[in-house]
Amino acid sequence: MRVVVAGGGGFLGSHLCEALLSRGDTVCCLDDFSSGRAANIAHLLRMPGFHCTPCDVTARFRVFGDVDAVVHLASPASPPDYQRHPLRTLAAGSRGTENLLELAVRHGARFVLASTSEVYGDPQVHPQDEDYWGHVNPIGPRSVYDEAKRYAEAVTTAYRRSRGADTGIVRIFNTYGPRMRADDGRVVSTFIRQALAGAPLTVHGDGSQTRSFCYVDDLVRGLTGMIDASHTGPFNLGNPAERTVLELAEVVLQITGSRSAVRLLPLPVDDPVRRRPVVTRAREGLGWHAEVPLEEGLRRTAEWFATQPDTLVRPPHRSTVGRLS
Ligand code: NAD
Ligand code: UDP
């Protein structure tokens, strides 16, 4: 297959490009490197079958040659990233999705949208299955991301219904692993960076909010499964093992052997209280489920972070609240 991976220079995208190349596919990566990094794909540029076109998918871009599948991962993804770039985030979900759908339709290619658990907002139903419509504040600070992805799902479905596009939607729950940016502000990268630097782990609120953390290799297997399938979805992709943020901090301290303290900070506005995927549909449709336990995934991630020059070593904050041992 010749697969276009929009956002292929990012965290998930670079792992997906690697997985596709390793099974013999040809990959055309499109990325503007706004939140991704050239270093993520530097090793792939030497491989036959890999090509990267730096471009903004919300503007005009060209893809030469055949296309069998288009995967849309191009969007700011961490809360600090998308709140810093609200209009670019909305454009990535709207114009970006439309442009990539047009590309797929032109080539008769499969289109896979990387949507998100954020379409469920701060869910009032727990755990979340795909029939839940969500609880999103349309004008809150997270809305630029949540509503962009909800629109992306809507326009993807409209292309399927009105243009006969072959589309699949996956809703990705919090995924972590090597190649996250140390400064992306997401909780796993932040805690690991802080633990390795001996700085306090910044827990928002009282840390009782939950997330379900999926290791990147598991997630990428789900993505390739959706590329190969003809299912429309949406399918939740995530690891249903739910943890509080405070539990996550404890595990990070354990596996890094760090003696960092825990510092409680205010909970951001509209921060979802809990999140856990029901993955029955992905299990039945793709034969997929997450396999890597949190401790193992965090260990692999911390080992990788420890080798990275941009894992910032910062002095510990002076005012700390509590200490986990
Ligand atoms: P990331 O920021 O590492 O990757 C996004 C990539 O898209 C970056 O390389 C960035 O430079 C590129 N990009 C952004 N806007 C672009 C544009 N207009 N044109 C071209 N390239 C553009 O984030 P990630 O975690 O790898 O997320 C990838 C996708 O998966 C995103 O769409 C995100 O919404 C989705 N997702 C991720 C998670 C997660 O936990 N990692 C969860 C839910 C959904
Ligand atoms: N979080 C935290 N400390 C941090 C960064 C994040 O406690 O330094 C919390 C955040 O408020 C949220 C959870 O961790 O409750 C997951 O945050 P992340 O940004 O990784 O993902 P999302 O909120 O998009 O699920």
Burial class (CB in 10 A: 0-12, 13-18, 19+), 87: exposed
Ligand 2, atom 19, residue with closest C-alpha = 186
**In terms of domains, do 53 and 181 share one?**
no
Q: Which amino acid is at 271?
A: D
Number of domains forming the structure of the chain = 2
Question: For the segment 243-279, what is each residue's pLDDT rounded down to a tens digit?
Answer: 999 999 999 999 999 999 999 999 999 999 999 999 9
Q: What is the pLDDT of residues 30-54, one digit of tens each?
A: 999 999 999 999 999 999 999 999 9
Of 237, 252, 283, which residue constitutes the final position of a domain? 237
Note the pLDDT of residue 80.
96
pLDDT for res 289: 98
pLDDT above 90 covers a percentage of the chain that reads 95
The CA distance from 278 to 259, in Å, is 35
Residue from 89, 187, 214, 271 to probe ligand 2 pocket by mutation (most atoms less than 8 Å from CB): 187
Beta carbons within 8 Å of 251's beta carbon, 6+ residues apart: 243, 294, 295, 298
Domain identity same for 190 and 77: no
- Distance (Å, rounded) from C-alpha 14 to C-alpha 29? 9
Q: What's 119's DSSP letter?
A: G
Per-residue pLDDT at 11 exceeds 60: yes
**What is the C-alpha end-to-end distance of the chain, expressed in Å?**
50
What's the angle, vertex CA 81, arms to CA 304 and CA 15, rounded to 5?
A: 40
Please say whether the beta carbons of 176 and 138 come within 8 A: no
CB neighbours of 11 closer than 8 A, spacing ≥ 6?
36, 40, 77, 177, 179, 180, 181, 184, 216
Verify that 147 and 257 share a domain, yes or no.
no
How far apart are the C-alpha atoms of 185 and 72, rounded to whole Å?
22
Q: 48: exposed, middle or buried (C-beta count within 10 Å: 0-12, 13-18, 19+)?
A: exposed
Q: Is 159 an active-site residue?
A: no
Residues 106 and 164: beta-carbon distance below 8 Å = no
Let me know whether 157 and 188 are in one domain: no
Whether omega before 48 lies within 30 degrees of 0, making that bond cis, reads: no
d(CA 6, CA 156): 15
Which CATH number belongs to the domain containing residue 148 in this structure?
Answer: 3.40.50.720
How far apart, in whole angstroms, are the C-alpha atoms of residue 248 and residue 244? 6
Residue 305 lies in a domain: yes
Q: Are residues 88 and 11 in the same domain?
A: yes
Q: Do both 58 and 159 map to the same domain?
A: yes
Give residue 312's pLDDT: 55
Give the global pTM.
0.96
- From the candidates 120, 145, 159, 215, which is the catalytic residue? 145
Return the axis-axis angle of helices 294-306 and 245-256, rounded to nearest 10°: 60
Give the binding-site residues of ligand 2, using a 6 Å CB cut-off: 78-79, 174, 186-187, 190, 202-204, 209, 211, 245, 268, 271
- Cα 223 to the chain's mean position, in Å? 11
Q: For residue 222, is it within any domain?
A: yes
| Residue-range definition of the domain harbouring residue 196 | 177-212+242-272+292-320
pLDDT of 304-321, one tens digit each? 999 998 775 443 333 222
pLDDT at 72 over 90: yes
Model confidence at 6, pLDDT cuts 50, 70, 90, reads very high
Ligand 1 pocket member 203 (CB < 6 A): no
pLDDT (average), residues 98-119? 98
| Residue 201 shares a structural domain with residue 120 | no
Residue 311 included in any domain? yes
Per-residue pLDDT tens over the stretch 54-67: 999 999 999 999 99
Task: Please report the beta strands in 129-208, taking only residues with DSSP state E, as ranges in sequence order.
Answer: 166-172, 175-176, 201-204
Provide the mean pLDDT of the chain: 95
Residues 23 and 118 in one domain: yes
- At 116, list the tokens: 């998100």
Average pLDDT over residues 105-116: 98
SS3 of residue 322 by DSSP = coil
Q: Are residues 164 and 313 in the same domain?
A: no
Relative to the alpha carbon of 222, which ligand is closest?
A: 1
pLDDT in tens, 177-230: 999 999 999 999 999 999 999 999 999 999 999 999 999 999 999 999 999 999
